Structure 1
Amino acid sequence: MSQFGFAPSLDDIETIARAALTRLPEPFAGHLQGVVLIVEDFPSEEMLDVLGIEDAYELTGLYTGNPAGLESVTGDLPPMIHLFRRAILDEWADGGVTLAELVSHILIHEAGHHFGLSDEDMEWLEAELKKP
């Protein structure tokens, strides 16, 4: 049993993710203000089909939208970070990290796509989140 009860809810995951966003250093934090955070139990069938993924439990997060710095076309949806609760909980159940660490890791990875960051840059951002 976790600190949230039996299983963290969609709202619990969103609260953890928003807390992680507030700890991001500038200029990243400012550039993510227009990015929509969506927490759902599972990705849509359309998302899975586009990505060629058969098992919804394989996808913990997804960035959709134009990367930072690219002009959007009128009518484009805003950039979005999707977090998928059930896959996150499955990965968390495997142990090794706290739920907050896992959600932060996924969030940084997806935010990294918004900025076109390398894996090394994403590791630096994760380290920044872990600082007191």
Structure 2
Amino acid sequence: MSKFPTAVNLHKTSNTLGLTYGPDEVYQLPAELLRTHSPSAEVQGHGKPILQFGKLNVKLIKVEAAGQYALKLTFDDGHDSGLFTWDYLYQLAVRQDALWADYLAELKAAGKTRDPSESIVRLML
């Protein structure tokens, strides 16, 4: 059974998507988390997710309803594919700390960074 928010807000100043499910259940999902965990084939791949990096400064610029079941999000890097279902958004919201920690660990293991102006170079001594 889907859990639907009672309010959805794009907070441009904090660059977050606000989801309210009740007075005690309010979440702020950062644009970078939404972008790096997009349900699109570009991010999820075909069987194995494709690590997204360099998305530190990505902005969420548009939020649109996709029928009664999802949101279509548009980011300033041009990414606008993949529909964020209500179930998926709720899972991102309640698991965002664990998902973020896993993402940072994956970046480190891959020698990648969140900052698009940085790259990690491993020296072989």
TM-score between the two structures when normalised by the length of structure 2: 0.29
Whichever structure has more helix as a proportion of its residues is 1
Whichever structure has more strand as a proportion of its residues is 2
TM-score between the two structures when normalised by the length of structure 1: 0.28
Higher relative contact order (CA 8 A, sep 6+): 1
